[in-house]
Amino acid sequence: QKEVEQNSGPLSVPEGAIASLNCTYSDRGSQSFFWYRQYSGKSPELIMSIYSNGDKEDGRFTAQLNKASQYVSLLIRDSQPSDSATYLCAVIPLAGGGNKLTFGTGTQLKVEL
């Protein structure tokens, strides 16, 4: 079982719709969770962090964390073509010191006109 799992996609949504990206993790002791956006050929860019159960909103982005079910999700409201990218879920597992990121392989999002 991978430590951090994401559906590779592509996930296609029409412009203006809500895009929902999901991620599950295996280490129940994980404490910190991050979402990165990566455009093709570019470096990952941190867009959201979440540390406690519930929702965290920042503009059009909402991160949701459910530690009991070991999943974290990212909602993008009013999706725009510029949101088309690969979204990486990253977790800080307790195993290994609780200090370094473990990444999923990413979900490719395509926002269609």
- Please give the residue ranges that form the binding site for other proteins (CB under 8 A): 31-32, 34, 36, 41-46, 49, 88, 90, 92, 97-101, 103-106
Q: Pick between residue 97 and residue 113 the one whose CB is nearest to other proteins.
A: 97
Min. distance of Cβ 7 from other proteins in angstroms? Answer: 13
Q: Quickly list DSSP for 8-75.
A: ---EEEETTSPEEEEEEES-TT--EEEEEEE-TTS--EEEEEE-SSEEEEETTEEEEEETTTTEEEEE
Q: SS3 for 92?
A: strand
Give whichever of 90 and 111 is closer to other proteins, judged by the CB atom. Answer: 90
Closer CB to other proteins, residue 84 or residue 93? 93
